[in-house]
Structure 1
């Protein structure tokens, strides 16, 4: 396991809206918040001809993200 793998339980919250800007022109707005529960990293013993990860991955990791999206649409 490394800090790069998102292995914890997650909660994801999303919201979105469409705004009419003018006749035929719309903007879609979106937001997502991702919260991942804390998880512990662990080390592994060295494999043949590879350095050990002891001391590199040990720790408590947490993660959250804010994602935004915007799109424009035109109907004719």
Structure 2
């Protein structure tokens, strides 16, 4: 597990977490969805949308998994800006 420093008064020096929406082409089955246990999913039209809170390392890990599985990435959006 990755660790990071915490400054006095609770200010975090580590990578900031944010909520991300990740859109993948097609409907993913339960086997492929199990590769993303930390993310919620829903089907929107012909696509599967994953959402969840990720730090930078976690986001890169999810993107690497999408690539490794040969999935077609359509969109990555940081929510709440």
Normalising by structure 1, we get a TM-score of: 0.24
Higher strand share: 1
Larger Rg: 1
